[in-house]
Amino acid sequence: MEKNKKTPEVLKTALNILYPRRCPVCHRILRDQKNLICPECEGVFQPITEDYCLKCGSPVKPEEEYCRDCAGKRRSFDEGRGIFLYDQKMRRSLIRYKYYGSREYADYYAVSMYRYGRGNILRWKPDVIIPVPLHRRKLRMRGFNQSGLLAEKLGTFLDIPVSEGTLRKIRGTRSQKKLDAAQRRKNLRQAFRAERRLDGLTVLLVDDVYTTGSTVEAAAACLKEAGAKKVCFLTLCMGRM
């Protein structure tokens, strides 16, 4: 099992001087480097705190208990929750985080996931946190796994072990962005492989974005095949196609 890594405070201070922290909303350098977001930008991202699907956590109408994808359907995962709505502001923030080197955003993202998702996580009682992996080719291009960094920070907050190497993406797939739900499911078929048995364990799967749920579905199915008793997921944001 992989151990959580902690950055020494002296190193954090030095990094803040060399690479000052920026706000995940407006991208300006934060006046107080101890903050994770501008006071003026706090509240711009919209947390999903009510009217969400009891199965996957995606937004629903007040009178609905389940979304159209979960109502009366069998899902590979047991339960899930998203933290923020995947709107244009969140999309721009994630693009900077994933593609333009703004990895410090992960601190704000992870704190928010802990703040709003802690109740669910305590109820699920996971034994291990596993991030949704990237294929090795994409990992080389990007330089890091955005979900792995979120999982690492959550593991520190929750004191739950993180195992980034347990689930691997073994097949390169097309970008999911322009595919519909059926195409996404087909695209991810047999894309993941579990590197060890998870017999009887409850897994918390961590990802950055949930839209149709195809990625989480495929990953959860793979973990269940490896013996996981229960697979729940937490994503930074949720949206609809």
Say how far apart CA 114 and CA 43 lie, in whole Å.
16
Say how far apart CA 80 and CA 72 lie, in whole Å.
16
Beta strands in the chain (DSSP E): 79-85, 128-131, 167-169, 192-194, 202-210, 230-238
The pTM of the full predicted model, rounded to 2 decimals, is 0.86
Q: How confident is the model at residue 10 (pLDDT cuts 50, 70, 90)?
A: low
pLDDT for residue 191: 85
* Residue 80 CA neighbour count, 13 Å, CB half: 31
Whether pLDDT at 1 is above 60:
no
The pLDDT tens digits of the residues spanning 40-66 come to 999 999 999 999 999 999 999 999 999
Contact between 213 and 205 under an 8 Å Cβ cutoff? The reply is: no
Residue whose structure tokens are 């300006």:
28
pLDDT for residue 3: 46
Beta carbons within 10 angstroms of residue 142's beta carbon: 12
What percent of the chain is modeled with pLDDT above 70?
84
Mean pLDDT to the nearest integer, 3-30: 72
Mean pLDDT to the nearest integer, 201-226: 95
pLDDT for residue 179: 47
